[in-house]
Structure 1
């Protein structure tokens, strides 16, 4: 009896495919567990880094209040102002790590409330002016007082802090502008610099976790590479978004869109 050439394959022919699929599933599960363990580790590190700073910052505030009463223009008061900024900066970096782990675990709950945009921008810019001055950048703010957003204030603070910090790092000493405008039912918040810019091929990549705006790690400023990823996730969680307009050598403009308070 002759067998058809296109007849059914032997029963064991599909076995290698099944084995390969099972191996891939095991590898995927192993990677998922590794990522979960890494995020848990980051959360633990963030807590350990941030918690001791709270009493330190409180002590600095008390010493600064005393120094400002006794000699407001003295070197001690000026040094304590700088120390307070450094401690606050440290706390913000630890908070960024904690926020990353919360987003990944689906534990970042954002509660919308009326938030005056100009007020938050001024607070963030004031806290970052020493860093900008050190980099040789001046920051100009143009935000109408009547722009009231529907968002979480702390998340908005984190978005602005990350974008202005990014502009200082990559602005190459150029002027930085922070502006806001009304566009129908939303506000558009723009942070611009005239620095090194971002190549078109990198503009989608930089919104991913642990990615940097500079391709060569040896040339990148210090940081975790999660700031822009967090900006995108926070904006989207508040029914907004973020866009980028940039050309190499011509700077970058990040535009965050968030809903206005009705």
Structure 2
């Protein structure tokens, strides 16, 4: 035998005073969450600033040592070690800069100034800086970017976009070849970074552009990182009048396409 049941008609409705109290409580919760998010972003910006700034003079000193040693013994082990140290310091600075850019983007303080930028020059610089990482992973990077593509964008933001996309291709490319290509379509440039690695499932292709999300959801198998690279790529591209999209299938690699306006 079942026990007594209460019908919906017997449940007392929430009166105007109760509804007002609930709305006020929700507003307080939202305000508290916003304060917590603002405090977190401020902390993140402070940490990024403190991590990056001391490395600037260190990088300058390493650059001077590299120049001195390369003039005297360019093929020696010391020169090779200093070149590797320079690369590691540069990577550290870029990672701290990523944190700083994330905090600025989140708080609406990411101001980008557009100027004419030759795409091929920036691609060559980024690929050269990431070549040691690619070689260590067993991947070769091929570049097919016309010399006459001049974008209207911020050079540092473009560098950050390419750095994030190529780094992801190295991480998830399964030691396969990586291609950086570009072409012109109307008033835009289409920049493609492709790999032949693990790929991304259709259900995950929107999620990976959100903050703190990764293509590999399992932290035990995912490469190291903050999970903000693709989110920042999207924010930077959109801030410069462009966008980003991905085409991928599991096991067949991925191609990320960034569109940015061409300089008139």
TM-score between both structures, scaled by the size of structure 1: 0.95
Shift of 1:122: 0.2
Q: Which residue number corresponds to residue 260 of structure 1?
A: 262
Matching residue of 1:111: 113
Question: How far apart are 1:11 and its partner, in Å?
Answer: 11
Aligned with 1:213 (options 212, 215, 218): 215
Supply the distance in 2 between the matched residues of 1:188 and 1:165 (Cα, whole angstroms): 19
Q: Find the partner of 1:225 among 224, 227, 235.
A: 227
Q: How far did 1:21 drift?
A: 1.5
Corresponding residue SS for 1:182: strand
Q: Supply the RMSD in Å over aligned alpha carbons.
A: 1.2
Q: SS of the residue aligned with 1:217?
A: coil
Aligned to 1:123: 125
Residue 252 of structure 2: aligned partner: 250
SS at match of 1:164: helix
Cα distance per residue 1:170-191 (max 9 Å; x no partner): 1111100000100011000000
1:134 matched residue in structure 2: 136
Return structure 1 stretches of 4+ with deviation > 3 angstroms.
none
Report how far residue 14 of structure 1 moved.
2.4
Question: Unpaired runs of 5+ in structure 2?
Answer: 1-11
- CA distance in 2 between counterparts of 1:14 and 1:247 reads 53
SS of residue matched to 2:220: helix
Cα distance in 2 between the residues matched to 1:76 and 1:23 = 64
Number of residue pairs the alignment of both structures matches: 253
Q: Which stretches in structure 1 are left out of the alignment for 5+ residues? A: 1-9
Q: Cα 1:19–1:250, aligned 2, differ >3 Å: closer, same or farther?
A: same
Q: Does 1:31 align with 2:33?
A: yes
Give the equivalent residue in structure 2 for 1:15.
17
